[in-house]
Amino acid sequence: MFFLLVLHLVVGIGITAGGRALGRQAFLVAAIAPLATVVWAASKASSVLDDRPVTDSFAWVEQLGISIDLRLDAFALVMVALVSGIGLLICVYSLGYFSHDQPGQARLAGILTLFAGSMLGVVLSDHLIALFIFWELTSITSFLLIGNGDTNARARAAAMQAIFITGAGGLAMLAGLIIIGQAGGTYRISELVLDPPSGGAVNAGLVLVLIGAFTKSAQAPFSSWLPAAMVAPTPVSAYLHSATMVKAGVYLVARLAPMFAMTGSWRTLVLVVGATTMLVGGLRALRQHDLKLLLAYGTVSQLGFMMLLFGAGEYHIAEAGIVLILAHGAFKAALFMVVGIIDHETGTRDIRELHGFGSATGWRVVKVVTVVSAASMAGLPPLFGFIAKEKALDGYLEHGDFAGGTAALVVIVLASILTFAYSARFVLGVLGVFGEPNREVMSVGAHSPSVLFAGPAVVLSIATVLFGLAPVLVDGVIEAATITLFPGSEPKPVELFAGFNTALLLSMVIIGCGVGLTLLRRPVADVQSRASAGLRAVPSTEQGYLAVLRSISVVATRVTATVQNGSLPIYLAVIVLTVTLVPLAAFASELDELPQFIETPTHVALVAVMIAAGLGACIVRHRIAAALMLGAVGYAMAGLYVAQGAPDLALTQFSIETLSTVLFVLVLRFLPRSWRHHAPAIAAPMRIAVAGAVGVAVFVFALSASNARSDVDEPSMSEVMIENSLPKGKGSNVVNVILVDFRGWDTMGEITVLLVAAIGAVSLARPGRRRDETGAPVFEEILDVGDEPKLPEALR
């Protein structure tokens, strides 16, 4: 199973990196991955449906118990069929949609394949952390796909919005998944389902997970990114934003609901959010003129419907959810494809600009596809969508005896009436009923779509009709998937006609009201627009998103203005006080006895020089004089090393001190000769206090560090090194042996730092001085000596 993910990765990266020459043929190459997946899944189907899941595992971060555990059970099989089946059709459809080679198509095909692989990972993962990783990968690839038209500011904004919202939800979800995994003692879904954890922490974790699922599946109030994402090319919208990715949240809820529906506020939260989303999505879909936006809001509404079905955690209802996932995938992808065809051939998606199409065969086929798929969405018999709706109504009627069950049923009926109405609006729009006479007629006589272009939608429509007429074809899969979700359950068979029951009556009511709403569409639209004028006062989710963005930016600006105020003295004071005062207490507590400070008279003289030079550096007003004084401190320090019998240290100290003084002087040439004191009067005492604190801290640190190992029994490290220097390090200079051998790896690091520092110093010092004609800093000149070094006049 793992090889399928790798195949997606390889094909995706291959096309993205080197597929430019392929042009639109890249989609053909991209089709390899979903095709292989479909074939593989079909070959495993019989054993999976026989309750023998296929598993595969790849150790990843073993220390943390994180592995990529893959598991193909019956529910995953349903999702794989959706992801890879529709993925395959989308690849074919893209060949028709991108009828002319354009830059960026190969990249689109590549990222689409990467997305398909990530989505496959989501539905196959049995490990919560692996699921999260693939989940985020779908967010990232979705971001890239929405923003594919990277020169379009709207596309970029929509891509940002999508990744902000789903990314934030994903982070909340990660926290939730970790809480659940820790509480349950395992991160494997197949083990959690047998023994689900509970408790206060788990409740909180579930809320976090639900936030992630809601953002991904565009539930209220996080739904604004989905309509905005419609700026993506239609194949992308059809694939990600209707059939697959947005179902990831639903998928997760479906997986977790059987374990946690009774825990904490799960059911209340899911039912309220799902119901709100379903109603609001339906109402907004009814007001759209753009066919694609109409479908987008319709998708939001249907996702709310799925939440209501899966979130209840009741297997009869969840079984309806599985039927709906499949039915929705088929009709919504087909409808999106129709929108793409219309957009591609006529250049518009606005129903006010469509005036019907000619009688060419291609357009007739498109119309049939439209009517069949929209009828399935509306829930008309004998189509697949009707079965889903029927099962949902029946499930809530017979088994919705939990708190809020009846309310959910009412919402489903109301929203289904709306669904009927916007489905009808879509069909009438395509047929040209809303075409306004004063708008330019663009659709009549439009070029009819090619077989390749219309074919995938036809295939999906055939599935819609076939599974509607003969649900026995999918009955086995759906029942097995239900049993996977709810071990030990006994799902009812999926049937087109389940007898004259209340559900059928409700379906008739829905259809009747829907027809009424369609016939009265003008007055309804008036009422809606008047009501929406009143609703303007309530901020929409879109406005909420913008407000959040603005407040983040305001807070960031204020925090930065406070923390990064630009005053070097304050930065310095904060840094040195932190590094000195924080460890000071710990060091001071270790300090038990003071060593003998003066061993030879030389010490007194050297220290006197150091103190004098140090004070002098503080007092003198010339910068270069101060630098020289600091050099004197360093030389006296080197003298101290000599007095203590460390010639190596002394030698290094002398050389370092010499060179740093020279470099100091080189840099100070660019600064004024002396300081001018503009600082307020309080600055001087504060500086003295800070400097004093640093001095005391370093003093205490040195004392306690030299005593640190005195009470440890082990032989001191320095003695070990001195003993081993000659026999093991082959050198009698122990300092050098430490540098090149015992601690050679440190030296490697240090010289690397030196190298980086050298390049850094040059780039800091020079680019400001030399710029090329475009104003960009010239760096090469600094690094090269140049062919003719300029000799000073005196040396020529």
Partner 1 sequence: MSDARIGTNADTDARERFGRRILILDTSIRVLYPSILVLALYFVFAGHNRPGGGFVGGLVVGAALALRYVSGGAAAVRSTFRLPPHVFLGIGLFMSSFTALLPLLLGGALLEHGEIEFHLPVFDEVKLTSTLSFDLGVDFVVIGLILMAFAAFGEDLPDAPDATDDNSDSVAATVRRGPGRMTR
Backbone angles phi, psi at 611, to 5 degrees: -65, -45
Minimal CA–CA distance to 369: which of 349, 355, 383, 353? 383
**Within 13 Å, how many C-alpha atoms sit on residue 603's CB side?**
7
Provide, rounded to whole angstroms, the least separation between the CB of residue 623 and partner 1: 11
Contact 119, 243 (CB under 8 A): no
Provide, rounded to whole angstroms, the least separation between the CB of residue 683 and partner 1: 20
Closer CB to partner 1, 672 or 685, in the complex? 672
Chain residues in the site for partner 1 (CB under 8 A): 647-648, 651-652, 655-656, 658-659, 662-663, 665-667, 669-673, 729-733, 735-737, 739-741, 744-745, 747-748, 751-752, 754-755, 757-759, 761-762, 764-766, 768-770, 782-786, 789-795
Closer CB to partner 1, 519 or 762, in the complex? 762
Closer CB to partner 1, 440 or 788, in the complex? 788
Distance CA 735, CA 742 (A): 10
Provide, rounded to whole angstroms, the least separation between the CB of residue 793 and partner 1: 3
Closer CB to partner 1, 522 or 796, in the complex? 796
Provide, rounded to whole angstroms, the least separation between the CB of residue 29 and partner 1: 40
For residue 338, CA distances in Å to 260, 430, 449, 600, 788 come to 39, 9, 10, 96, 70
Distance CA 755, CA 94 (A): 51
Distance CA 371, CA 335 (A): 9
Distance CA 266, CA 257 (A): 8
Provide, rounded to whole angstroms, the least separation between the CB of residue 736 and partner 1: 4
Contact 319, 491 (CB under 8 A): yes
Closer CB to partner 1, 21 or 764, in the complex? 764
Give, for 745, the enclosing helix (H) or strand (E): helix 744-765
Minimal CA–CA distance to 378: which of 238, 284, 243, 510? 510
Longest dimension (CA), the chain: 112
Provide, rounded to whole angstroms, the least separation between the CB of residue 740 and partner 1: 4
Closer CB to partner 1, 615 or 666, in the complex? 666
Provide, rounded to whole angstroms, the least separation between the CB of residue 654 and partner 1: 9
Distance CA 720, CA 699 (A): 27
Provide, rounded to whole angstroms, the least separation between the CB of residue 139 and partner 1: 40
Provide, rounded to whole angstroms, the least separation between the CB of residue 741 and partner 1: 6
Contact 690, 573 (CB under 8 A): yes
Closer CB to partner 1, 406 or 718, in the complex? 718
The token duo for 274 is 């799902």
Provide, rounded to whole angstroms, the least separation between the CB of residue 787 and partner 1: 11
Closer CB to partner 1, 199 or 760, in the complex? 760
Closer CB to partner 1, 582 or 667, in the complex? 667
Closer CB to partner 1, 538 or 785, in the complex? 785
The token duo for 168 is 């934030």
- Asked if residue 235 has a cis previous peptide bond (ω within 30° of 0), the answer is no
**Which residues, including other chains, have CB under 8 Å from residue 444's CB and lie 6 or more apart?**
355, 356, 357, 358
Angle at 342 between CA 336 and CA 344, to 5 degrees: 100
Q: 186 burial class (0-12, 13-18, 19+ CB within 10 angstroms)?
A: middle
